[in-house]
Amino acid sequence: MIDPEKRKAIFLLSEEGMNVREIARRLGVGRNTVRSAIASMGIAPPAARKSKIRIDRELLQRLYDECDGWKRRIHEKLSEEEKIEVKYSTLTRMLRELGIGPAGKQRCDRVPDEPGAEMQHDTSPYTVKLGGRPTRVIASMMYLRYSKRRYLKFYLNFNRFSMKCFIHEALMHWGRAAAVCIIDNTNLARLRGLGRNAVIVPEMEAFARRHGYRFVCHERGHSNRKAGEERSFWTVETNFIPGRKFEDIEDMNAQALEWATVRMHHRPVAKTGLIPAKAFEHERAFLVELSPFLPPPYIPHDRPTDQYGYISFDGNYFWVPGTSRDQIRALEYSDLLKLYRGRDFLIEYRLPAAGVKNKLIYPDGMPRPIHEPKNRRKPTDEEETRLREMGEGVGAYLDFALKPQGNERHRLVRDLYRLSRQMTPALFTRTVQRALKYGITDIKVIRRIALLYLNAGVETLPQTDVDEDLESRETYIEGRLTDMPDFSVYDELLEENDG
């Protein structure tokens, strides 16, 4: 086997008129090799590997489907059931050559950074401390590929409505939108299909069209198609989160807005030294300009007005102007709630902070309404805290009694607290300790235990001895089989009283 360069030289010397003997002498190769090189015109013939083992493609496809693609199991079934001995490496090579199974790693296209051509969106979960408590949050980021500009916000829960609100907020902050938004194959925007075959949810497609762009899903497993977005999340993890303290999600988002739109907006990027603020000024002319009056996304909710003039929404109560009890349509925005009666706009409220529940909300500057919703939930955290402060015995009973109660939890805590105010702490502690011993949660029985302690005048009640052989006694067996007593005399007395 001679190298391609020598084979090519043999052919060129033959073309110049040199005979086979002279070429073989000068290049130090055999005459047959020279003749072969001349016959192939200096081109090395392809090395065709002759496989001694031939397996029908339909057989391999059937085994692949039966084994769910597990090649090791296919190898075993070929040997045990089909009596075909083949090396595992040969089997995997044949599957690749026949195109059975997932395609191998493909090369990625290098997409140039063209101004106004592309933006990217993605989410990433993190666990951070909010107010000192570890909390799982979801970071949502918008990224302009050319100018490297970012917009970042965190959510406790992220759904399709949150995605629409975030993208609208980011694009309205920039005032511009790129022609294409690259996303992964998320179900928030994708209806079916993957990559180039993905079909976008009609709702999200209409939303994107209204904002001057379209969604494009990258191919499956090609997350580096939006490498700028992935690198931005790495920067969030290594630059934004470390060394910062967050009181709540609102404080975190305030710091994220300053970090993404001010600090990172004027900081040079990577080795190129590109400054997003300057690059965006150049890219601005290539982006789609958005109208400042573009309406934000919202979700409509129909709510009845209760007898006190409130509607309930997301665990809180919002006061409705007027005196009637009409059906109200509430439009939920990202941070606002607007109330309508028919087509008439009534009032708008700013939504309370995340986690705020059971709150009465009414217009600022207006005196608090006299009446409150009757079905308003009243928490019992304060009562439970005071009960636990009475000692470990009471705390142990609460751990036992409150765990399975479910919706009756608050009632039990209130009844226990009310009972604790009617007796001394020592008597109450002994009472609940005895209730814990026998697994009692009925407040009436607990009250009777306390009365027994008071009547006995002792610190502890005598234990009740139960004879386990009671049912085997002769008197018990004899009495069990006696006739029923005659109560007719009592019936006659009742008839006389009625007369």
Mean pLDDT of the chain: 84
* 50: CB partners within 8 A, 6+ apart: none
Enter the pTM of the model.
0.58
- Model pLDDT for residues 2-25, shown as the tens digit of each residue: 777 888 888 888 888 888 888 888
At 335, the amino acid letter reads D
Instruction: Assess if residue 108 is contained within a domain.
Output: no
Per the model's pLDDT, the better-predicted residue between 403 and 393 turns out to be 393
Number of domains the chain contains: 5
Q: What number of residues does the chain have?
A: 499
- The answer to whether residues 23 and 144 belong to one domain is no
The predicted pLDDT at position 218 comes to 87
- The answer to whether residues 284 and 308 belong to one domain is no
The predicted pLDDT at position 28 comes to 82
SS3 170: helix
Least confident of 51-55, 117-121, 234-238, 368-372: 368-372
Instruction: Assess if residue 211 is contained within a domain.
Output: yes
Distance (Å, whole) CA 349 – CA 361: 8
Can you give the residue range of the structural domain that contains 325? 299-361
- The answer to whether residues 181 and 279 belong to one domain is yes
- The answer to whether residues 244 and 129 belong to one domain is yes
Instruction: Assess if residue 170 is contained within a domain.
Output: yes
The predicted pLDDT at position 154 comes to 95
Instruction: Assess if residue 269 is contained within a domain.
Output: yes
**CA 66, chain centre distance (Å):** 33
Residues 313, 330 contacting (CB under 8 angstroms) = yes
Residues 386, 417 contacting (CB under 8 angstroms) = yes
- The answer to whether residues 341 and 234 belong to one domain is no
- The answer to whether residues 274 and 127 belong to one domain is yes
Going from the C-alpha of 299 to that of each of 160, 213, 302, 330, 456, the distances in angstroms are 11, 22, 10, 8, 65
Least confident of 47-56, 96-105, 203-212: 47-56
- The answer to whether residues 127 and 245 belong to one domain is yes
- The answer to whether residues 82 and 224 belong to one domain is no
Least confident of 36-45, 436-445, 454-463: 454-463
